[in-house]
Amino acid sequence: MPVSGNNPGPDEGFGVYIHWPFCASKCPYCDFNSHVWDSIDHRRWRTALLSELNHFALETSARTVTSVFFGGGTPSLMAPETAAALIDAVGNRWDTAGDLEITLEANPSTAEAGWFRAFRDAGVNRLSIGVQSFRDENLSFLGRGHSVAEARDALALAADVFPRFSFDLIHGLAGQSPEDWGRELDEALEYAKSLGAGHLSLYQLTIEPGTPFHRDGVEAAGGDEGARLYAITQEKLIEAGLPAYEISNHARPGSECRHNLQIWRGGAYAGVGPGAHGRLPAPRRTEALYQIHDPGRWLAAVESKGHGTAKRRALPRRARAEELLMTGLRLIEGVGWARFQSLTGRGIEDLIDGDGLKRMTGGGFVEADDRGLRATASGWLCLNEVLRHLLAS
Ligand SMILES: C[S@@+](CC[C@H](N)C(=O)[O-])C[C@H]1O[C@@H](n2cnc3c(N)ncnc32)[C@H](O)[C@@H]1O
Ligand code: SF4
């Protein structure tokens, strides 16, 4: 049943996120909603993902889809026919932007020319590859099932097959010296340049509760060490013409991931698949949707009622303001006053702590001007603390 209040603003995009929750093996640092199943009934999963996509199309079809993102898990393990059917369904159920961005996350172990071309023919026009490291010893420490040579081949294939591609690296492994990371990053950047990569995601290793790394007491680089690795990363990426546009994401200007930008700016998106979430903003209120996390339970729910939504609620204004600040301050562009007002119905000054803001601007952690509020480079290094001060009241 169509829900009123989800009509788009004139300049708003709409993202469709589709979660594929399976991987060939589980990496010991990863707490994503990813699972290793002995066998997957691809036809059944295709039908279920299509059902839930159609369910969301019913209430959001007035919007124009600007991006589709297949995330995971490892969606490059999805049958390309599944991606094709979902992309066709998006085109049939919504208007789509002329420059519709369709990203698929891939693991280098799944890089095979015919398979990649099948995804491209399905409509995928941007590949994001989890390389993680340009050092074989780090890949084996991270429990990855591929070598550096295989990752390089996957990147070359991606550059050949897809108009746009990106890759992920992880830094901040315990004992990783700034010199080691600097050399590894130089090699990665040289290779990226030779292939014309326009986008890189550079994550600091985090030890997540519940993961084997956490259970085994594995440590990541500590505060000062981590900050040095982060500073080197920023310097080298600026030199390479790929400055940060988000705390962990770097792009040649114009090559930013449009889907993630849409989310970080507080825009509208639907989340399809186990554990996916969505945001449906309307004037003065935003609905948050959460799909059932467990893949088996999600599948059963979709097969019985057409969707696997576990929870749907209008976000209280303060919670919405907090998330806009949390994601907006991760962006180099920051949070615009006018946009904040239009998404929350209130001025930012009503929702953030005036004394906290003074302390954070005085300390050089944030900058405010007539357009909005931005974190500085030192603010990015302790963003959680900055947010705590801004949201103190
Ligand atoms: C869904 S995976 C990418 C695609 C594919 N599953 C793979 O790993 O090749 C998303 C990315 O999140 C990053 N990531 C996951 N857990 C992390 C952690 N604990 N610390 C830092 N980065 C992490 C990795 O760089 C990974 O490539
Ligand atoms: S990092 Fe990627 S491949 Fe490894 S378990 Fe997580 S989602 Fe799967």
pLDDT in tens, 97-110: 999 999 999 999 98
Select from 309, 324, 299 the least CA-distant residue to 276.
309
Ligand 1: residues within 6 Å at CB? Answer: 23, 29-30, 32, 72, 74, 105, 107, 130, 132, 168, 170, 203, 205-206, 208
Ligand 1 atom 15: the closest Cα is on which residue? 30
Yes or no: domain 14-262 corresponds to CATH 3.20.20.70: yes
Residues 6+ apart with CB under 8 A from 5: 282, 283, 285
The residues facing 269 across adjacent strands are: 15, 279
pLDDT of residue 393: 67
Phi-psi group of 175: left, alpha or beta (phi > 0 → left; psi -120 to 50 → alpha; rest → beta): left
Residue 297 has pLDDT above 90, yes or no: yes
Residues 144-168 pLDDT 10s: 999 999 999 999 999 999 999 999 9
The ligand with the least distance to the CA atom of 22 is: 2
Burial of 224 (0-12, 13-18, 19+ CB in 10 A): exposed
Q: How far is the CA of 200 from the centre of ligand 2 (A)?
A: 17
The ligand with the least distance to the CA atom of 220 is: 1
- Lowest mean pLDDT segment, chosen from 8-22, 70-84, 230-244: 8-22
CATH class (in words) of the domain with range 317-393: mainly alpha
- Range list for CATH 3.20.20.70 in the chain: 14-262
Average pLDDT, stretch 324-336? 94
Residue 284 has pLDDT above 90, yes or no: no
Q: Point out the ligand 2 atom lying closest to the alpha carbon of residue 130.
A: 2
- Range list for CATH 1.10.10.920 in the chain: 317-393
105 close to 116: Cβ distance less than 8 angstroms: no
pTM: 0.95
CA 302 to chain centre: 24
Residue 61 has pLDDT above 50, yes or no: yes
- Lowest mean pLDDT segment, chosen from 62-71, 81-90, 379-388: 379-388
Ligand 1 atom 8: the closest Cα is on which residue? 130
166 close to 126: Cβ distance less than 8 angstroms: yes
pLDDT of residue 60: 94
